[in-house]
Amino acid sequence: MNKLLTTVFALAVACVTLSAQAQKVTGSVENGGKKVAMCVGCHGIVGYQASFPEIHKVPKIAGQSATYIASALNAYKAGDRKHPTMRAIADSLTEQDIADLGAYYGQLGLQEGDAPPATLAKQPGDKVQALISRDKDNNCTKCHGANFNTPNDGTVPKLAGQHADYLYVALKSYKVENHGQLGRANAVMAGQAKKFSNAELKDLASYIGSLPGELKTVPESRIHRSH
């Protein structure tokens, strides 16, 4: 190889390496769509019930933000979230897979004009209102949004319209410590959940689950996959 060719070749290799690195942090909706085969058996069946380690509906993830989806998957991967099946699944995903799946599910099912009202569509009763604002400085809506659908940060989930039985199991899990198959290690939500009895968490979950929001389960048959 002459010198010029060698230089051109080296530059081309550098470009490919650079773009591969850039892709590492950028999710691709298209590539994510090719990776959902492993997810749709649970997240692509409306009302699908999980039975282990607890019985509840599988969470709606279409319409959750890409950042939150990645943050949740990384929490399972790191063992901060203990759910056994999701840990095994997240473990098998690369950083790029996680970014692609986040990008894909983040846009799935979202349409213009889809967004719920910015303020509460349905006022809670006095009892639930008192639970929501029990922590005066840090009430639930401060982070999850006035309508529970507009989180103040990418790592905070949308909650409005999520399955109530899942919200309840998720809330309880923040109180669990030192258990092999149950629990979530997030310190912010542990501080919140521990202020409530399980009966109170259930009331919060059923109210929040009844609100209109952007979260959906998009059935597999409606997922357009480009091959």
What distance in Å separates the CA atoms of residue 140 and residue 148, rounded to the nearest whole number? 8
Answer for which of 95, 186, 190, 206 binds ligand HEC (CB under 6 A) is 186
Positions 75 through 94 that interact with ligand HEC (CB under 6 A):
75, 81, 83, 85-86, 89
Answer for which of 66, 99, 171, 211 binds ligand HEC (CB under 6 A) is 171
Answer for which of 19, 26, 30, 41 binds ligand HEC (CB under 6 A) is 41
Contact between 175 and ligand HEC by CB under 6 A: the answer reads no
Q: Are 62 and 107 in contact (CB under 8 A)?
A: no
Q: Are 85 and 52 in contact (CB under 8 A)?
A: yes
Judged by CB under 6 A, the stretch of 7-15, 22-30, 111-119, 169-177 that binds ligand HEC is 169-177
Nearest to 146 by CA among 155, 163, 159: 159
CA atoms within 13 A on the CB side of 33: 13
Answer for which of 62, 66, 72, 120 binds ligand HEC (CB under 6 A) is 72
Residue placing its CB nearer to ligand HEC in the complex, 3 or 52: 52
Positions 138 through 157 that interact with ligand HEC (CB under 6 A):
138, 140, 142-144, 155-157
Residue placing its CB nearer to ligand HEC in the complex, 10 or 45: 45
What distance in Å separates the CA atoms of residue 82 and residue 85, rounded to the nearest whole number? 9
**Residue 13 has which token pair?**
């290799």
Contact between 209 and ligand HEC by CB under 6 A: the answer reads no
What distance in Å separates the CA atoms of residue 143 and residue 47, rounded to the nearest whole number? 27
Contact between 108 and ligand HEC by CB under 6 A: the answer reads no
What distance in Å separates the CA atoms of residue 117 and residue 188, rounded to the nearest whole number? 27
Contact between 204 and ligand HEC by CB under 6 A: the answer reads yes
Q: Is 10 exposed, middle or buried (0-12, 13-18, 19+ CB in 10 A)?
A: exposed
What distance in Å separates the CA atoms of residue 211 and residue 96, rounded to the nearest whole number? 33
* Interface with ligand HEC (CB under 6 A): 38-39, 41-43, 50, 58-59, 61, 69, 71-73, 75, 81, 83, 85-86, 89, 101, 138, 140, 142-144, 155-157, 159, 162, 167, 169-171, 184, 186, 188-189, 192, 204
